[in-house]
Structure 1
Amino acid sequence: MDKIAELIESGYECEFLDFKERQYHKDKSMDLLMDIMAMANSRHNGDKFIIIGVKDRPEGKEIKGIDPKEFIDSSNYVQLVLNNIEPEIQFDYFKYEYKGLVLGIFKIYETDNKPYMMRKNFSGLKEGLCLIRKGSMNTIAKRSDLDYMYLNKGQFEMSFLEQTLNAVHDTEGCASIEVVLTNTTELPITIIGGTLYVRNDQGKELSRHHVYGLDKFIGADFKLVLPPKTQKVGQLMVGFESSDPFRLNIDEHGICAEEYVFELLLVDTREKKYSANIKNARIFAIGDFLWKVKRQKGIPHKLRTH
């Protein structure tokens, strides 16, 4: 089931989801501006949706749909919002077929430049008005809401700087891969845990490796603090065992002809999760990580760390 179908069937009105029975026609332009602005300012970090053609009743949703011939082109809405709200809000409006009916979907995304507000007077909306979505209601943003928006500007970004996981630290029982971590927010971010997932090109998980440090092995209790507006580049240390070469089809030379998909998932003290992916990745292993593979093939190996 895709995301939108899931929202239609089991979602409820909240800070990232709203249902409307009818499209926003010209006489409802003020309502559109209020709803888009409030959604964009909500504290939800992901995409936000307004689903048109659904009547939300206390006893359950009524999927009514809209007439495909009366579907309003997205450009009309985009121009209206662009002319009246600042800074620019990124959103799409598109048709979605659901059980033989056509619905309209507003998808609001990349809302990391809050606060969004009226750039000029329009109908009953005054210049400078700032609305925020709280629960299923639109309300005027208060000082505490604006503080939250400004303090949480920016984002935490991470990416891989190489495509090979090097299992070369057999004494510590870990592998490493170079990454860059960037905190562009106004607040410090403390990473307290993480996992590197290795999958094949079909998405099947082959192995998982817990994060144990950056540039040096610390262990399960590692913490990594990134002050505001800082960046760190280093070797991410993750756990690796002698049984992993079997799961990853690594030979006695530490080489594997296969390519993988890596997904890195980090968690901070606020339980917020961050992820990064890389395709066409490889794994290389040496030393005592290969002793089980060699034993299976009858190749002698003198252990150094056992």
Structure 2
Amino acid sequence: MDKVVELIEFGYECEYLDFKERQYHKDKSMDFLMDIMAMANSRHNGDKFIIIGVKDRPEGKELKGIDPKEFVDSSNYVQLVLNNIEPEIEFDYFKYEYKGLMLGVFRIYKTDNKPYMMRKQFGGLKEGHCLIRKGSTNTVAKRSDFDYMYLNKGQFEIRFLEQSLHAVHVKEGYASIEVVLANTTELPITIVAGTLYVCDGLRKELSRHRVYGLDEFIGADFKLALPPKSEVVGQLMVGFQSSDPFRLNIDEFGISAEQFYFELLLVDARKKQYSATMNKASVFVDGDFLWKVKEQKGIPHKFRTHR
């Protein structure tokens, strides 16, 4: 399921998600600066979203949409933030069509340079003013919030070292791809869960694969501890099934003409999320993972492992 659709249908206002009925026009510039700053400062480690054109009611969400002719260009918001908030907040604002209505979506990302605060006075916001998103509300940052931000300086970095996911470990039922995980923070991080999402070029999810180990197949009890200022390189092992080649349009030779979009999402013991993405990725499949594909095409398959 597309991430934005998932947020609209199942999400609730929290430290990484907010719904607004109307766009921020010029008379609401101060409100926009407050919302974007608070979101950027929230403790959530992944992307944050403000979805415009949706009214959040206690009884459920009401889709309002926005007039396409009144859509505010992203550059207006970017310039407003650059002029008034420091350091720079990276975000996108784009149109999104949902159930025949046009919505606007702010996606705020790479917010690892906290705290974000006012660089000068703007309306009622004074220089140095700092807001943080807690739950579904914006509040003034306190000493404990600043302590948390500075103690968590640095980041948890994930990088793919290979362009292809290799589904060749049939007996154990997993696929692998080489990654580097780097903890440059001042605190230990223990990864307790993870999922690799394989999407098409439009970022529509095709399949998802649970993380089961790094260089060793652990299974559902997988945990990985990284001390402060540490780095590890290894083969990330994710679940893979013989039905997955159908979802990924893999042929009987174990390849696909499509290029994929990978998103790896890891979760630590404190429920923080970390992600990495890769465009133009591929999936290679071999062995008994292909038996269902071959069976559908009437091609005999000699099993190397038990079905």
Normalised by the size of structure 2, how large is the TM-score? 0.67
Equivalent position SS for 2:79: helix
Counterpart of 1:156, as a letter, is E
Instruction: Report matched runs for 1:61-210 at 5 Å.
Output: 61-153=61-153, 154-160=155-161, 179-191=179-191
Alpha-carbon distance change, 179 to 119 in structure 1, aligned in 2, over 3 angstroms: same
Alpha-carbon distance change, 103 to 237 in structure 1, aligned in 2, over 3 angstroms: closer
Which sections of structure 1, spanning at least 5 residues, go unmatched?
249-255, 286-296, 299-306
Residues 156-165 or 19-28, more deviating: 156-165
**d(CA) in 2 for partners of 1:60 and 1:267?**
28
- The structural deviation recorded for 1:155 is 1.4
**d(CA) in 2 for partners of 1:162 and 1:27?**
47
Instruction: Report matched runs for 1:1-306 at 5 Å.
Output: 2-153=2-153, 154-160=155-161, 179-191=179-191, 214=215, 224-234=224-234, 258-259=254-255, 268-270=268-270, 279-280=281-282
Alpha-carbon distance change, 103 to 151 in structure 1, aligned in 2, over 3 angstroms: same
Count of residue pairs brought into register by the alignment: 279
- The structural deviation recorded for 1:38 is 0.6
Alpha-carbon distance change, 64 to 184 in structure 1, aligned in 2, over 3 angstroms: same
CA contact (8 A) 1:162 1:179 kept: no
**d(CA) in 2 for partners of 1:167 and 1:89?**
41
- The structural deviation recorded for 1:152 is 2.4
- The structural deviation recorded for 1:282 is 5.3
**d(CA) in 2 for partners of 1:10 and 1:121?**
38
Q: What percent identity do the matched residue pairs reach?
A: 70
CA contact (8 A) 1:164 1:284 kept: no
Counterpart of 2:158, as a letter, is E
Residues 86-95 or 124-133, more deviating: 86-95
- The structural deviation recorded for 1:100 is 3.1
Q: Determine which structure has more spread, i.e. the larger CA radius of gyration.
A: 1
Deviation track 1:245-265 (CA, whole Å, cap 9, x = no partner) reads: 9x99xxxxxxx9635899977
CA contact (8 A) 2:182 2:232 kept: yes
Alpha-carbon distance change, 163 to 99 in structure 1, aligned in 2, over 3 angstroms: closer
**d(CA) in 2 for partners of 1:133 and 1:35?**
8
